Structure 1
Amino acid sequence: MKKNETIKVGISVGDINGIGIEIILKTFEDPRMLELCTPIIFASNKILSIHKKELNIHTQTHGIDSVSKCVANKVNLVNVWKEQVEVEFGKETALGGKYALLSLQAATNSLKQNEIDVLVTAPINKHNIQSEDFKFSGHTEYLEANLEGESLMILMTNELKIGLITGHIPIQKVAETITPGLIEGKVNLMYNSLVQDFKISKPKIAVLGLNPHCGDNGVIGEEDDTVIRPTLEKLQADDKLIYGPYSADSFFGSGAYKKFDGILAMYHDQGLAPFKTLSFGNGVNFTAGLNKVRTSPDHGTAFEIAGKGEASNNSFKEALYTAMDVFKNRSEYNELIKNKLRTRK
């Protein structure tokens, strides 16, 4: 990216029957957003026109047939498809999944080819998007398969960052999935992300236990004592500020989470239930660990309010800001590392 250029933000629209397009259009109703970034939406002019008319939103878009033709200070729209598609607000349909995937594929390919700098994804429906080309439990897994690196899902605000040791897997498989290698890998991913993506030079990380009361010395399960605790002790020996395991039931209610830069939960709802209680509607889903930056809002397709004009774009806007901040921080970090290597020669 050249010195005076704004960050190119690629945007996939998610399910066309949900609130994704609404929150995107609402965000760029404010022309000041175009001073911060160059947005590039991957969809079609016809789909956006349907949403604009239904929602009475007047955000102007600039149609292009390739990212190379994007224009600064405009909301660019890459026409990924040209056919007319039926929009059924609030309904889970096969077409909703099909065109969500087309948008995501186009945006991801552009990200891989360095045509855009970061990717912000609007919500998909994890059921209707399933196909021969998408056999994943969510965006995180799809992007890990298509980009370089190992992913770590982090739900975050400025004050709270919760990562997941295990992500979108059935609860019955959680205990058998948690191994010393997995814990160590996820801790290192969060540690590295806090350093390079958020400029925290010596991050403090808390790890939650798996069983109630961390097993109560083996009375309610042995994994905390036999798997988690020894792994954390090994990581602490590497001079990293890793603490735990902490009993998850009191960790958030007591305010203990405020003492840490990052928190790792053992499974999806253990981390996301308290996060959404504390921050829902203002949080961001950030995929750490990959060679490219991707964020999304902390909510789903919200079919129940789709097409009604009621959706808040706060979380999407925060996802946009976070993607840009992480991109800048990571670029500065990589430049710093390069300079250190040159100095040592």
Structure 2
Amino acid sequence: MGLLGDSSADFQAAQINEQHFQDASETPGTLLRITPYKQNEGIQSGARLLQAIHDVTTERKRLFSTKNVSDHHSFELWFDEGRVKFFMHAATDDAADKYTTRVENAYDNSDVHEVDDGDGFPPVGADDYVAAAELDIERHHFYPIRHHDGEGFEHDPYSEITSEMQSTEETRVVVQAVFRPEPKDWAEDDGSSMIGSGVSVDDVAQSLRDDEVEGWFDPYTTEASKKDKDAAKIVEQQRGKYAFNTNLRIIAISPDEYEAESRCEGVAGMFTRYYNSKTEQGFEANPVGEGRLSSVIESAQQREWTDHEMILTIDELAGAAHIPNDEINVANIDWKNTQRGSRVPADSLQSDKD
């Protein structure tokens, strides 16, 4: 995997002495705000939603190969104006219409509406401090990270992530997952060859099962460990699963240098806990150096996607990008308190003001 940030750097906030404002009308594509009903199925519903929006478009590149030209979209968590909010970004109007319907189907009683005024991204003032990180994976993407259908989570990891995001009213934090669907045969070949002779999940699994010869002067054979054999089975299960090629960014903005640093490092640290001990795979957090902060903000505003070879199956991505439920028991979440069609009392509020 190529490094996205500077893995040797500490999490340091800096004043970039630039203003970055994006009006909703200037956002490419369509930004959708989701106000979820708090009684939903959380990660499981997230997996169903990703399954429903996995639409791959390809075009023929050469005689024996095709090129993935699918649009990329994003899921975003914002801590802004003192609350945690949920957004999806669709590349086209047609995708926005489809996403609206499919989000409402996956998350019963939740509201989805287009953001057509206000901010298209949390603003960055000239006096603000900014800290950012980009997430990579530690090993090849054939090794899965921890997810709800593997080793599983004891509880929704968003409990810690949304808690770490929360700060002062003036602080803004964004977690952005930009993803593009991969063809279903993504695990058969890593794309290194035009005619399909690259590494596949079978090759990786077999290498884990193979005995190893150790020693130069008195060589001996060491049998593959049970852990490696178990990992081989998990890797093989990647074949045929739907997946997305993903970019994950974390950006913290605050007039307080300490808050920007702490929120970015804290949220990034929570993502590194998506560690699968059987495959020894997890997220690696790479802090962004001061010289790249402006470009990372611009990339986030434009919802840019680049191929970092971080391919996550639906189950893996659902753990990192989903709408939680009231299991997380965290204050200041932008919940919808009533079911669709319910009468709202005159003195009630639309969002939970815990």
Q: Shorter-normalised TM-score: what interval?
A: under 0.3
Q: Would you tell me which structure has more strand in proportion to its own residues? A: 2
Q: TM-score, normalised by structure 1?
A: 0.26
Q: Would you tell me which structure has more helix in proportion to its own residues? A: 1
Higher relative contact order (CA 8 A, sep 6+): 2
